[in-house]
Amino acid sequence: MQADKKEVTIVLPALNEEEAIGMVIDELKSEGYTNILVVDGYSKDNTVKIACEKGARVIYQHGRGKAGAVKTGIEHVETPYLLIMDADHTYDPRDVWKFLEHANDYDEIIGVRMNREHIPFLNRLGNWAITRAFNLLTGARLRDICSGIYLLKTEKAKSLDIESTSFDIEVEIATQIASNGEITEVPVNYRSRIGRQKLSSLRHGARILSTIISLARIYNPAFLFAMITALALIPGGIIYLWVFYRMVFQGVWHSGWALLGTALIILGGQGLVLSTIALMMRRMEKRIVRMLGSRSRTYDC
DSSP string, the chain: -PPPGGGEEEEEEESS-TTTHHHHHHHHHHTT---EEEEE---SSSHHHHHHHTT-EEEE--SSHHHHHHHHHHHH--SSEEEEE-SSS-B-GGGHHHHHHTTTT-SEEEEEE---TTS-HHHHHHHHHHHHHHHHHH----S-TT-SEEEEEHHHHHT------STTHHHHHHHHHHHHS-EEEEEE-B----S-----HHHHHHHHHHHHHHHHHHH-HHHHHHHHHHTTHHHHHHHHHHHHHHHHHH----HHHHHHHHHHHHHHHHHHHHHHHHHHHHHHHHHHHHHHHHHHHHT--
Q: Crossing angle of helices 65-76/169-180, nearest 10°?
A: 50
Kindly indicate the confidence band of residue 296, based on its pLDDT and cuts at 50, 70 and 90.
very low
Interval 67-89 mean pLDDT: 95
Who wins on pLDDT, 171 or 299? 171
Q: 192 pairs with which residues across the strands?
A: none
Report yes or no on whether pTM surpasses 0.85.
Answer: no
Kindly indicate the confidence band of residue 65, based on its pLDDT and cuts at 50, 70 and 90.
confident
- Give the pLDDT score at 172: 85
Residue 301 has pLDDT above 50, yes or no: no
- Give the pLDDT score at 299: 40
Name the pairing type of β-strands 149-153 and 108-113.
antiparallel
Starting at the edge strand found earlier in the chain, the sheet holding 149-153 runs 57-60, 36-40, 8-14, 81-85, 149-153, 108-113, 183-188
What is the C-alpha to C-alpha distance for residues 144 and 27, in angstroms, rounded to an integer?
Answer: 24
**CB atoms < 10 A from the CB of 76, how many?**
13
- Give the pLDDT score at 230: 85
Residue 297 has pLDDT above 60, yes or no: no
Interval 225-239 mean pLDDT: 87
What is the C-alpha to C-alpha distance for residues 142 and 135, in angstroms, rounded to an integer?
Answer: 7
Q: pLDDT, tens digit, for every residue of 3-60?
A: 899 999 999 999 999 999 999 999 999 999 999 999 999 999 999 999 999 999 999 9
- Give the pLDDT score at 211: 63
Who wins on pLDDT, 1 or 57? 57
- Give the pLDDT score at 94: 97
Q: Output the average pLDDT for the chain.
A: 85
List CB contacts of 23: < 8 A, sequence separation 6 or more. Answer: 89, 194
Name the pairing type of β-strands 8-14 and 108-113.
unpaired
CA-nearest of 100, 90, 12 to 54 is 12
Q: Write down how long the chain is.
A: 301
Kindly indicate the confidence band of residue 204, based on its pLDDT and cuts at 50, 70 and 90.
low
Kindly indicate the confidence band of residue 203, based on its pLDDT and cuts at 50, 70 and 90.
low
Q: pLDDT, tens digit, for every residue of 238-285?
A: 998 999 888 988 889 999 998 998 999 999 888 888 777 776 676 666
Interval 62-79 mean pLDDT: 93
